[in-house]
Chain A
Amino acid sequence: MTRTRFLLAFAIVLAALPQLPVPEFWITQANYIGLYALVVIGLVLLTGVAGLTSFGQAAFVGLGAYTAAYLAVTHGVSPWITVWVGLVITGVAAMLLGWVTLRMSGHYLPLATIAWGLSLYYLLGNIDALGKYDGLLGVPPIRFFAIELNTGRSFFYLLWALVVLASIAVTHLLDSRTGRALRAVRGGSTMAEAMGVDTFRVKVTAFVLAALLASVSGWLFAHFQRTVNPSPFGLKMGIEYLFMAVLGGVGHVWGAVVGAGMVKILVFGIVLVAVLQYARDGLWAFVESRLPRRERAVDWADAPALPERERPPHGEVVLDVQAVRKQFGGLVAVNDVSFQVCAGEILGLIGPNGAGKSTTFNLVTGVTAATRGEVRFRGERISGLPSREIARRGVSRTFQHVKMIAGMTVLENVALGAHLRGRHGVAAAMLQLDRGEERRLLREAERQLRRIGMAAHLHELAGNLALGSQRLMEIARALCADPSLLLLDEPAAGLRHQEKRALADVLRQLRGEGLSILLVEHDMDLVMGLTDRVVVMEFGTKLIEGTPEQVQASPAVRAAYLGTEH
Chain B
Amino acid sequence: MDFTIAGILMLDGVTNGAIYALLGLAIVLVFAITRVIFIPQGEFVAYGALTLAMLQIGVVPGTVWLLLVLALLAALLDALKALRRRITASRVGIGAIKTLAWPALVMLLSLWAAPRQLPLIAQSLLTLAIVTPLGPLVYRLAYEKLADASVLVLLIVSVGVHFALTGLGLVFFGAEGFRNPSFWDARFAAGALSVSGQTLIIFIVSVALMLSLFLFFEHTLRGKALRATAVNRLGARLMGISTSGAGRLSFGLAAFIGALSGLLIGPTTTMFYDTGFLIGLKGFVAAIFGGLASYPAAAVGALFVGLLESFGSFWASAFKEVIVFTVIIPVLLWRSFQHGQVDEEE
A residues near B, CB below 8 A?
47, 51, 53, 55, 97, 100-101, 103-108, 110-112, 114-116, 118-119, 122-123, 126, 186-190, 200, 239, 242-243, 246, 268-270, 272-273, 276-277, 280
Interface status of B145 (Cβ within 8 A of chain A): yes
Q: A103-B336, A242-B159 are in contact. Are A269 and B345 (CB under 8 A)?
A: no
Q: A126-B319, A276-B146 are in contact. Are A106 and B344 (CB under 8 A)?
A: yes
Contact A239 B328 (CB under 8 A): no
Q: How far is the CA of A409 from the CA of B284 in the complex (A)?
A: 40
Determine the chain A residues whose CB is within 8 A of the CB of B344 once the complex forms. 105-106, 188
Q: A111-B328, A115-B329 are in contact. Are A246 and B156 (CB under 8 A)?
A: yes
Q: How far is the CA of A118 from the CA of B324 in the complex (A)?
A: 10
When C-beta atoms are compared, the residue in chain B nearest to A124 turns out to be B322
Interface status of B37 (Cβ within 8 A of chain A): yes
Which size bracket describes the interface of B in this complex? 35 or more
Determine the chain B residues whose CB is within 8 A of the CB of A103 once the complex forms. 336, 340-342
Give the shortest distance, in Å, between A44 (CB) and chain B (any CB). Answer: 14
Give the shortest distance, in Å, between B141 (CB) and chain A (any CB). Answer: 8
Which of B39, B157, B328 has most chain A Cβ within 10 Å? B328
Contact A116 B325 (CB under 8 A): yes
Contact A273 B164 (CB under 8 A): yes
Contact B152 A105 (CB under 8 A): no
A-B pairs, top 7 by smallest CB distance, nearest first, are A269-B163, A188-B345, A269-B160, A269-B164, A272-B160, A105-B344, A115-B328
Q: What is the 8 Å Cβ interface bit string for chain B, positions 132-172, against chain A (1 contact, 0 not)?
A: 00000000001001100111110111011111100100000
Q: How far is the CA of A105 from the CA of B288 in the complex (A)?
A: 12
Q: How far is the CA of A253 from the CA of B328 in the complex (A)?
A: 32
Contact B346 A110 (CB under 8 A): no
Contact B332 A268 (CB under 8 A): no
Which of A112, A114, A280 has most chain B Cβ within 10 Å? A114
Contact A53 B322 (CB under 8 A): no
When C-beta atoms are compared, the residue in chain A nearest to B159 turns out to be A239
Q: A106 touches which one: B152, B156, B162, B332 (CB < 8 A)?
A: B152
Determine the chain B residues whose CB is within 8 A of the CB of A114 once the complex forms. 39, 281, 284
Contact A273 B160 (CB under 8 A): yes
Q: A200 touches which one: B151, B160, B167, B341 (CB < 8 A)?
A: B341
Determine the chain A residues whose CB is within 8 A of the CB of B298 once the complex forms. none
Q: How far is the CA of A242 from the CA of B157 in the complex (A)?
A: 11
When C-beta atoms are compared, the residue in chain B nearest to A110 turns out to be B155
When C-beta atoms are compared, the residue in chain B nearest to A271 turns out to be B160
Determine the chain B residues whose CB is within 8 A of the CB of A97 once the complex forms. 329
Contact A122 B321 (CB under 8 A): yes
Determine the chain B residues whose CB is within 8 A of the CB of A104 once the complex forms. 332, 335-336, 339, 341-342
Determine the chain B residues whose CB is within 8 A of the CB of A123 once the complex forms. 319, 322
Determine the chain B residues whose CB is within 8 A of the CB of A280 once the complex forms. 149, 153
Contact B332 A100 (CB under 8 A): yes
Q: A107-B37, A273-B142 are in contact. Are A119 and B159 (CB under 8 A)?
A: no
Give the shortest distance, in Å, between B316 (CB) and chain A (any CB). Answer: 9
29 contacts between A and B (CB under 8 A): A103-B340, A103-B342, A104-B332, A104-B335, A106-B150, A106-B152, A110-B152, A111-B37, A111-B284, A111-B288, A111-B328, A114-B39, A116-B325, A116-B326, A122-B318, A122-B322, A126-B319, A187-B346, A188-B346, A189-B343, A190-B343, A239-B163, A268-B163, A268-B164, A269-B163, A269-B167, A273-B161, A276-B157, A280-B149
Q: What is the 8 Å Cβ interface bit string for chain B, positions 281-298, against chain A (1 contact, 0 not)?
A: 100110010001000000
Give the shortest distance, in Å, between B202 (CB) and chain A (any CB). Answer: 25
Q: A111-B37, A111-B288 are in contact. Are A53 and B155 (CB under 8 A)?
A: yes
Contact A107 B155 (CB under 8 A): yes
Contact A122 B156 (CB under 8 A): no
When C-beta atoms are compared, the residue in chain B nearest to A47 turns out to be B152
Give the shortest distance, in Å, between B274 (CB) and chain A (any CB). Answer: 10
Q: How far is the CA of A270 from the CA of B167 in the complex (A)?
A: 11
Determine the chain A residues whose CB is within 8 A of the CB of B335 once the complex forms. 104
Determine the chain B residues whose CB is within 8 A of the CB of A243 once the complex forms. 159-160
Q: How far is the CA of A270 from the CA of B326 in the complex (A)?
A: 30
Contact B321 A118 (CB under 8 A): yes
Q: A101-B332, A269-B159, A277-B146 are in contact. Are A126 and B318 (CB under 8 A)?
A: yes
Contact B162 A269 (CB under 8 A): yes
Determine the chain A residues whose CB is within 8 A of the CB of B321 once the complex forms. 118-119, 122
Q: Which chain B residues in 4-35 approach chain A with CB under 8 Å?
A: none
Contact B322 A112 (CB under 8 A): no
Q: How far is the CA of A112 from the CA of B159 in the complex (A)?
A: 15
Interface status of B211 (Cβ within 8 A of chain A): no
Interface status of B186 (Cβ within 8 A of chain A): no
Q: How far is the CA of A269 from the CA of B167 in the complex (A)?
A: 9
Determine the chain A residues whose CB is within 8 A of the CB of B341 once the complex forms. 103-104, 189, 200
Give the shortest distance, in Å, between A556 (CB) and chain B (any CB). Answer: 36
Determine the chain B residues whose CB is within 8 A of the CB of A110 once the complex forms. 37, 152, 155
Contact B152 A115 (CB under 8 A): no
When C-beta atoms are compared, the residue in chain B nearest to A106 turns out to be B344
Q: Which chain B residues in 107-149 approach chain A with CB under 8 Å?
A: 142, 145-146, 149
Q: A110-B37, A269-B164, A269-B167 are in contact. Are A115 and B292 (CB under 8 A)?
A: no
Q: How far is the CA of A116 from the CA of B285 in the complex (A)?
A: 12
Q: A115 touches which one: B156, B157, B281, B319 (CB < 8 A)?
A: B281
Q: How far is the CA of A112 from the CA of B151 in the complex (A)?
A: 15
Contact B332 A112 (CB under 8 A): yes
Determine the chain B residues whose CB is within 8 A of the CB of A107 once the complex forms. 37, 151-152, 155, 292
Give the shortest distance, in Å, between B149 (CB) and chain A (any CB). Answer: 8
Contact B156 A272 (CB under 8 A): yes
Give the shortest distance, in Å, between B331 (CB) and chain A (any CB). Answer: 9
When C-beta atoms are compared, the residue in chain A nearest to B335 turns out to be A104
Give the shortest distance, in Å, between B297 (CB) and chain A (any CB). Answer: 15
Interface status of B333 (Cβ within 8 A of chain A): yes
Q: How far is the CA of A273 from the CA of B155 in the complex (A)?
A: 11
Determine the chain A residues whose CB is within 8 A of the CB of B151 once the complex forms. 106-107
Give the shortest distance, in Å, between A80 (CB) and chain B (any CB). Answer: 32
Q: A108-B332, A118-B281, A186-B346 are in contact. Are A242 and B156 (CB under 8 A)?
A: yes
Q: B156 touches which one: A53, A100, A188, A200 (CB < 8 A)?
A: A53
Q: How far is the CA of A55 from the CA of B277 in the complex (A)?
A: 15
Contact A100 B155 (CB under 8 A): no
Give the shortest distance, in Å, between A526 (CB) and chain B (any CB). Answer: 29
Give the shortest distance, in Å, between A110 (CB) and chain B (any CB). Answer: 6
Q: How far is the CA of A268 from the CA of B281 in the complex (A)?
A: 21
Contact A112 B37 (CB under 8 A): no
Give the shortest distance, in Å, between B342 (CB) and chain A (any CB). Answer: 4
Give the shortest distance, in Å, between A524 (CB) and chain B (any CB). Answer: 31
Determine the chain A residues whose CB is within 8 A of the CB of B332 once the complex forms. 100-101, 104, 108, 112
Give the shortest distance, in Å, between B276 (CB) and chain A (any CB). Answer: 14
Q: How far is the CA of A115 from the CA of B346 in the complex (A)?
A: 25
Give the shortest distance, in Å, between A49 (CB) and chain B (any CB). Answer: 13
Give the shortest distance, in Å, between A200 (CB) and chain B (any CB). Answer: 7
Give the shortest distance, in Å, between B279 (CB) and chain A (any CB). Answer: 13
Contact A53 B163 (CB under 8 A): no
Q: How far is the CA of A106 from the CA of B31 in the complex (A)?
A: 14
When C-beta atoms are compared, the residue in chain A nearest to B318 turns out to be A126
Q: A104-B336, A273-B157 are in contact. List 19 more A-B contacts (CB 8 A).
A: A51-B152, A53-B152, A100-B336, A103-B341, A103-B342, A104-B341, A105-B342, A105-B343, A106-B152, A107-B151, A111-B37, A116-B325, A188-B344, A188-B345, A190-B343, A200-B341, A269-B163, A273-B142, A280-B149
Q: How far is the CA of A485 from the CA of B141 in the complex (A)?
A: 53
